[in-house]
Amino acid sequence: MFVFGHGSSLIDTFIVDGAVNGLAFTAGAASRLFRRMQTGFVQNYALVMGGGIVLIAAIYLFLKP
């Protein structure tokens, strides 16, 4: 019974808690990254949209059979 309880505790500590803490860390890191991109300047947003359109068009033309 002790082995099962100890094994269960290890699984809970390292796998379950590790997964939850890993997801929380990833969400925090992503928010810090995207926070820098939100400048409030419309010109920056338009430039990114234009670059995205060019990128999508280039991928479409490159992968077109």
pLDDT, one tens digit per residue, over 12-56 is 889 999 999 999 999 999 999 888 888 888 999 999 999 999 999
State how far Cα 29 lies from the chain centre: 8
Alpha-carbon span 17 to 26, nearest angstrom = 14
Please state the domain extents for the chain. 2-63
Looking at residue 9, its pLDDT comes to 85
pTM: 0.51
Q: Which two tokens stand for residue 7?
A: 């094994």
Looking at residue 22, its pLDDT comes to 95
Q: Which backbone phi and psi does 57 adopt, to 5 degrees? A: -65, -40
**CA torsion angle 55 61 62 63 (round to 10):** 110
Q: Per-residue DSSP letters for 34-52?
A: HHHH----HHHHHHHHHHH
- Residue, of 32 and 4, whose pLDDT is higher: 32
Looking at residue 61, its pLDDT comes to 95
